[in-house]
Amino acid sequence: MTDVLPRVDAPAESPATKTSRPWFSFLPQYLAISPFYILFAVFGIYPIFFAAYLALQRWDGIGPMEWAGLENFTFLLTDGEFWDAIINTLVIWVMSTVPMIVLALLVALGLNSAIRFKGVYRLAYFTPNVTSIVAMAIVFGSVFSEEFGIVNALLTAIGLDPVGWLSDPWGIKVTISAMIIWRWVGYNAIIFLAGLQAISPEVIEAAKIDGANAWQTFTKVTLPLLRPVLLFSVLMSAIGGMQVFVEPQILVGVSGGVENAGRTMVLYFYERAFQQNDFGYGAAIAWGIVIVVLLFALINWRLVQRPQRDGAAR
């Protein structure tokens, strides 16, 4: 990118001129970039700090706030419901991400081979990603409904017992995960496809000449070269997975259904703040979520920073 711009000799201009020009001489430039910062300050920074302030209050959303100190946070630490929500979120994340990546990889490999109507397939696989989640959740609710849903009808047809997709704690988690998988397989497949196409055919050819079979080529050459793309997908799915909300809300309700099996962190935050009118505690939960996400980001970062760089990957 930078190569395209005309090169400016930075050092020649710098110390003397910088000190002699007051900040306001750059005003036009600051003004020009200001819209982003103003919007970010109003809709990004301000709410963050307000939430920190709110977490120390008791507030029903309308009347005057009441100082609560660290009460909300001490309550949060001993709140079994919140810990359960964290576990639910992580479990659903694992249950959705692992199959999703495997499926997406298979789809990408399929699309990468010589087949006809590639464009049509790509479009078809991407469509779920741009479909309204609410509409999808309603459709999934029907598909997985217990007495008359198509999934249970298929299970009974092949002689299996129907499953309580929306009334069994694990059934609920599976259904929510299925929805996330359905939504994101296509998106990740397209990204993997881009990654696959970036791998130089010469490398694959060289592997073949060295006598590697298809499986060896895939595991020893293609996968390592795809590593950055895979990590990107895991990271993106982690960001999405920490925020799962609409799927359980529509499928099993705000409390997350039986044994609160579908209650994710964000759903719990919503229930406390907007159902139970406890905005102070809601803000405390939001900060709890921030800490969980930070920990998660830290783990992710450590994984990405692992030294095995596999040269040609970039």
Partner 1 sequence: MTTINRRRFLAGTAAALGLAAAGCASPVTATPGRLTLWYWTGGLATTVLTDAAARFAAAGLEPVNVGFDNLRGRLLATLSGGAYIPDMTMLSDDIARYFGDADQFVDLNTLGAARFEGEYLPWKWKAGTTPDGRLMGFPIDTGPAALYYRADLFAKAGLPSEPDDVAAAVHTWEDFFAFGKELQKTQPGAVIATDSNEIFQYALAQGPKKYLDVDGRYIGDQDHVRRAWDLGVRVARLGLSGAFVNSTDRQAAWNSGVQPAFISPTYTSNDVKKAAPSTAGNWRVCRSPGGPSNAGGSFIAITRYCPDPQSAFDAVSWILSPANQARHYLDAGLFPSALDALTDPAVRVPDSFFGGQTVVDVFAESARGVPQTAFSYMDIGIRTYFQTEIKNVEQAGKDPDQAWNDAQTLIYRLLKQSGVER
Query: Contact residues for partner 1 (CB under 8 A)?
Result: 28, 31-32, 34-35, 38, 58, 60-63, 71, 75, 79, 81, 141-142, 145-149, 164-169, 251-252, 254-255, 257-260, 271, 274-278, 281
Structure tokens at 13: 């201009």
Min dist CB 250 to partner 1, Å, is 10
Answer for the pair 125, 188: CB distance below 8 angstroms, yes or no. Answer: no
- Distance between CA 304 and CA 310 in Å, rounded? 12
Q: How far is CA 207 from CA 79, 126, 143, in A?
A: 55, 32, 45
Structure tokens at 209: 């000449």
Q: HSE, CB side, 13 Å, CA atoms: give it for residue 201.
A: 2
- Please say which residue, 74 or 127, places its beta carbon nearer to partner 1: 74
Answer for the pair 302, 217: CB distance below 8 angstroms, yes or no. Answer: no
- Please say which residue, 183 or 263, places its beta carbon nearer to partner 1: 263
Min dist CB 259 to partner 1, Å, is 6
Answer for the pair 283, 54: CB distance below 8 angstroms, yes or no. Answer: yes
- Please say which residue, 142 or 156, places its beta carbon nearer to partner 1: 142
- Please say which residue, 136 or 229, places its beta carbon nearer to partner 1: 136
Min dist CB 62 to partner 1, Å, is 4
Min dist CB 159 to partner 1, Å, is 21
Min dist CB 153 to partner 1, Å, is 11
Longest dimension (CA), the chain: 84
- Please say which residue, 134 or 223, places its beta carbon nearer to partner 1: 134
- Distance between CA 27 and CA 16 in Å, rounded? 19
Min dist CB 60 to partner 1, Å, is 6
Place of tokens 């298979």: 106
User: Phi-psi category of 64—alpha, beta or left, where left has phi over 0 and alpha has psi -120 to 50?
Assistant: beta
- Please say which residue, 57 or 237, places its beta carbon nearer to partner 1: 57
